[in-house]
Amino acid sequence: MTICKINIATSGVHARPITIDAPSTGIPSNASNPPEIHFKILDTDLGSLPSVSNLGEGHWFGIVAGSDDNSRIMACVPCDLAGLSLKGKNDYLGINGSATYVCRFDNCFVPDHFVLSEDADAFIKKVRPTFLLYQIPLGLGVTGASIESIQRRQTKQIGSNHYLQVQPDELKAIYHKQRKSVYDYMEAHVDTLEWQTLAQIRLDVTYLTLRSVEASMLHNGGAGYLNKSQPARKLREAYFLANLTPTVKQLEKILA
């Protein structure tokens, strides 16, 4: 985890040294505690965040900052913040259109009117269920598309696809069950989203997505083993979901 020192104005005039980290790394060690965000004061004014997505001209992104008095705040900073430099990351396996950058801070100053909350833990605890909920449709969409791809190949290969262990009817049944559970949960808990419940749904959806894209690759055979084929694209998108914070391993730890 990368951390670095910047300055946060406490009154608009004075400033104090603090450290920052990307808010998306604030993953709770269990469902009952607030996100655990590691930080420490460094002797250097240089530092970087390794991966921040959806950045561009005029864009802002969130940071969590804490001082040596154990207080933590959340702030939004612009991409053109003085002392902040961005380096594009374009060598991902897929989803290279996500505008992801390494953000390097060099003695940056963040005024107090950029601060969203003076209690970062409480703020994250409030918004993290919704943040997680927005990721679930990606898995459902990729799964649905992969099942459709498998179904289109049923009569190909002289019927040999029927001998594969994973068949579309099995995946479809699980897919519809998971999709219904998401909609049912939202209707019943629209104002009371629970982190642990959504973490389990997100994990289940991700595992089904991974299973579906692998099955699609097998059913499509050589036609899927092309860089620009739909099955290959869905495979890359699925592994993006698996490694998107909170990652599969982080979710497993949260739910352990």
CATH code of the domain covering residue 251: 1.20.140.10
Q: Are residues 91 and 203 in the same domain?
A: no
Q: Are residues 32 and 107 in the same domain?
A: yes
Residue 9 lies in a domain: yes
Q: Are 3 and 25 in contact (CB under 8 A)?
A: no
Residue 165's pLDDT is what? 95
Q: Are residues 46 and 68 in the same domain?
A: yes
| Contact partners, residue 45, CB within 8 Å, separation at least 6 | 4, 5, 6, 106, 107
Q: Which one of 62, 96, 121 terminates a domain?
A: 121
Q: How many domains does the chain have?
A: 2
Q: Which one of 121, 149, 174 terminates a domain?
A: 121
Residue 67's pLDDT is what? 63
Q: Are residues 56 and 78 in the same domain?
A: yes
Q: Are residues 179 and 218 in the same domain?
A: yes
Residue 129 lies in a domain: no
Residue 127 lies in a domain: no
Residue 34's pLDDT is what? 36
CA distance 81 to 202: 34
* pLDDT tens sequence for the chain (256 residues): 333 444 444 333 233 334 444 443 333 333 344 333 333 323 334 567 888 888 989 999 888 777 666 778 888 889 999 889 999 988 878 777 778 888 888 878 878 888 888 888 898 888 889 989 999 999 999 999 999 999 999 888 888 999 999 999 999 999 999 999 999 999 999 889 999 999 999 999 999 999 999 999 999 999 999 999 999 999 999 999 999 889 999 999 999 9
Q: Are residues 83 and 178 in the same domain?
A: no
Domain that holds residue 228: 134-255
Q: Are residues 242 and 154 in the same domain?
A: yes
Q: Are residues 142 and 243 in the same domain?
A: yes
Q: Are residues 88 and 42 in the same domain?
A: yes
Residue 128 lies in a domain: no
